[in-house]
């Protein structure tokens, strides 16, 4: 049976293809109209995985209709009635598929084959902390992550993480276990700069037992970076992100942002005394959040614009 969501996704996909515009360009146009939508969300709308529901998403859809050249309201008319909101819909939001939030969904799904995801939904992410260092050459050289996890069932002995390089360069990020874990099976895609890996605990956890783990990721090919993003497939109680800059490479502007249900919220953020920008989310996800920055102009130029749709250095679990 064909649903309204099927009709909407097919019509949207056809309109974008007819217009000949990329998702990245479409995302940029929507951002300029103050109705930002991530490229991942546009991809989900096209595939039928999700649909625009919230007022901000519907406003973005109206602008999207004008950009791709269809009549006002033509795509919106294909949407099913919105799902209930409020108390009925206030339950914790479920996890999404392992490849969610990645434009390279097929590549990620391929990497996840052969990794043990059987207990992935049985771990509650209580707390997390990302610390990213941006070196003097403007590249992210080391990314450190600490997580506090709680088992909701007996026998959980690992977690799967995904890391994505800033740009495909023939190499993939290098993973190192730091505390209370070891690196298990690792699958990589050098063409896409992707890595999926198991972090194996010292022993299987009992139900309601907690564990603190730490790991580091090193970027293979230093190059200027503009964004660091974490994509949360499952809800997390609290997560702190720090991006610390070398004194010889200070950004001219930083923005912290979060994306839930395809709606992006962002605000400027100042560096602290340690030259770090931070972002904290509480009871967050599934969704994306991160920090973007721009570099001062070189040689009197206009400088690098904060990208809204560029590829981010990404951690996901």
Among residues 301, 155, 150, which one has the least CA distance to residue 236? Answer: 150
Q: CATH says 105-316 is which class?
A: mainly beta
Domain boundaries, the chain: 4-89, 105-316
Give, in degrees to the nearest 5, the angle at Cα 269 between 313 and 219: 20
CA quadruple 104, 108, 111, 116: dihedral, nearest 10: 180
| CA 154 to chain CA centroid, nearest Å | 29
Chain position carrying tokens 């949207």? 12
CA distance 249 to 63: 37
CA quadruple 95, 55, 253, 306: dihedral, nearest 10: 80
Radius of gyration of the chain (CA): 20
Beta bridge partners of 282: 238
Beta bridge partners of 229: 290, 314
CA distance 152 to 208: 5
CA distance 4 to 81: 9
3-state secondary structure of 199: strand
User: Read out DSSP for 21-76?
Assistant: --HHHHHHHHHHTT----HHHHHHHHHTS----SHHHHHHHHHHHHHHT--TTTTG
Q: Which pair of structure tokens corresponds to residue 226?
A: 């503009």
Among residues 131, 198, 206, 217, which one has the least CA distance to residue 158? Answer: 198
CA distance 31 to 28: 5
- Tens digits of pLDDT across the chain (317 residues): 344 457 888 889 899 999 898 888 898 899 888 888 888 788 888 887 788 887 788 888 888 989 999 887 888 888 775 554 444 343 444 444 444 555 556 667 777 877 877 777 788 899 999 999 999 999 888 899 999 999 988 999 999 888 877 655 556 778 999 999 999 999 888 777 788 889 999 999 999 999 999 999 987 667 788 999 998 878 888 999 999 999 999 999 999 999 887 788 889 999 999 999 999 998 888 888 999 999 998 654 444 544 443 444 555 56
CA distance 98 to 117: 9
3-state secondary structure of 99: coil
Which phi and psi angles does 172 have, rounded to 5°? -125, 160
Beta bridge partners of 268: 255
Q: Which CATH architecture has domain 4-89?
A: Orthogonal Bundle (1.10)
- The confidence score (pLDDT) of residue 236 equals 86
Shared fold status for 4-89 and 105-316 = no
């Amino acid at each position: 049976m064909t649903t309204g969501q099927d009709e909407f996704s097919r019509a949207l996909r056809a309109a974008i293809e007819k217009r000949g515009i990329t998702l990245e360009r479409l995302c940029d146009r929507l951002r300029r109209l103050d109705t930002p939508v991530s490229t991942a969300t546009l991809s989900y709308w096209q595939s039928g995985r999700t649909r625009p529901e919230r007022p901000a998403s519907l406003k973005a859809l109206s602008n999207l209709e004008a950009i791709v050249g269809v009549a006002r309201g033509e795509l919106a008319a294909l949407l099913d009635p919105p799902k209930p909101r409020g108390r009925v819909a206030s339950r914790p939001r479920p996890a999404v598929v392992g490849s969610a939030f990645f434009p390279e969904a097929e590549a990620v799904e391929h990497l996840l084959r052969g990794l043990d995801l059987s207990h992935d939904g049985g771990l509650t992410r209580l707390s997390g902390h990302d610390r990213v260092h941006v070196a003097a050459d403007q590249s992210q050289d080391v990314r450190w992550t600490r997580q506090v996890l709680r088992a909701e069932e007996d026998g959980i002995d690992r977690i799967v993480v995904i890391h994505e390089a800033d740009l495909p360069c023939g190499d993939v990020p290098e993973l190192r276990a730091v505390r209370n874990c070891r690196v298990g099976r690792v699958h990589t895609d050098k063409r896409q700069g992707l890595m999926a890996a198991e972090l194996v605990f010292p022993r299987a956890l009992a139900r309601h037992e907690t564990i603190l783990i730490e790991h580091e990721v090193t970027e293979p090919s230093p190059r200027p970076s503009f964004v660091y993003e974490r994509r949360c497939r499952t809800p997390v109680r609290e997560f702190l992100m720090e991006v610390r800059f070398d004194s010889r490479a200070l950004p001219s502007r930083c923005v912290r942002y979060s994306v839930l249900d395809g709606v992006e919220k962002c605000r400027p953020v100042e560096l602290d005394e340690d030259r770090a920008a931070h972002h904290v989310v509480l009871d967050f996800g599934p969704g994306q959040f991160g920090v973007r920055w721009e570099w001062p102009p070189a040689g009197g130029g206009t400088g690098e614009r904060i990208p809204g749709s560029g590829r981010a250095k990404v951690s996901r679990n």
